[in-house]
Structure 1
């Protein structure tokens, strides 16, 4: 069907589709000071708008709104025309507390009560 549509109409439809994907997703990728909206995500990767993201690789932070989900090492996987897909080489979930250097007993106190 897309063979019968004029080039301008096809480009307009593609822009509208990308705009709807950007609005519907709260997921973002942050690299340094730059932030890119995630159009689609799956278990071992995600897709971004191809514009200005061709150079993207290495260590990135993934956010859901303002909540830090994980840090990931990514590589470019596939170029689908207007969308660039990336795959994780590694992904580490972000936590709000530092890792323990020792095994914490189950009956350990949670807090210190003042006198």
Structure 2
């Protein structure tokens, strides 16, 4: 036998779950100098809290804590269960070093030793 929860209790459970997700997440989305908490992220996009975050569009930055991890071009996908979902049109991971414009040989020396 299945029992259905009253609306007030179901809404409170959903609110508590969102609060726990918000506290646990280190991911942020930055746009126009403001940062918003990302509730969850997947390969093709991310979700934020619908009532708190204004509508986003265009280029944004994804941060983990204070570290920039990607710059993304996004579009709004759908709003469901208090989440606004966004999809990546393009996501470029940030690198720690500049990309090489040549191919390194597998047997290339790692350093040069000068004359003694």
**TM-score band w.r.t. shorter chain:** 0.7 to 0.9
Q: Secondary structure at the match of 2:21?
A: helix
- Any conservation in 2 of the 1:74–1:86 contact (CA below 8 Å)? yes
Normalised by the length of structure 2, the TM-score is 0.79
Q: CA deviation at 1:12?
A: 2.5
Between the aligned partners of 2:99 and 2:39, the Cα distance in structure 1 is: 32
- Any conservation in 2 of the 1:60–1:73 contact (CA below 8 Å)? yes
Partner of 2:73: 73
Q: Secondary structure at the match of 2:39?
A: strand
Q: CA deviation at 1:110?
A: 5.8
Q: CA deviation at 1:14?
A: 2.4
Q: CA deviation at 1:89?
A: 0.3
Partner of 1:23: 23
Q: RMSD of aligned C-alpha atoms?
A: 2.4
Which consecutive residues of structure 2, in runs of 5 or more, have no partner in the other structure? none
Normalised by the length of structure 1, the TM-score is 0.80
Between the aligned partners of 1:58 and 1:20, the Cα distance in structure 2 is: 28
Partner of 1:36: 36
Which consecutive residues of structure 1, in runs of 5 or more, have no partner in the other structure? none
Would you say how many aligned residue pairs link Structure 1 and Structure 2?
110
Between the aligned partners of 1:108 and 1:61, the Cα distance in structure 2 is: 37
Q: Secondary structure at the match of 2:11?
A: helix
* Inter-CA distance 14–98: structure 2 relative to 1 (3 Å threshold): same
Q: CA deviation at 1:84?
A: 0.4
Q: CA deviation at 1:15?
A: 1.9
Between the aligned partners of 2:109 and 2:33, the Cα distance in structure 1 is: 41
Cα deviation digits, residues 41-90 of structure 1 (max 9, x gap): 11101110002434201101101112211110001101104110000000
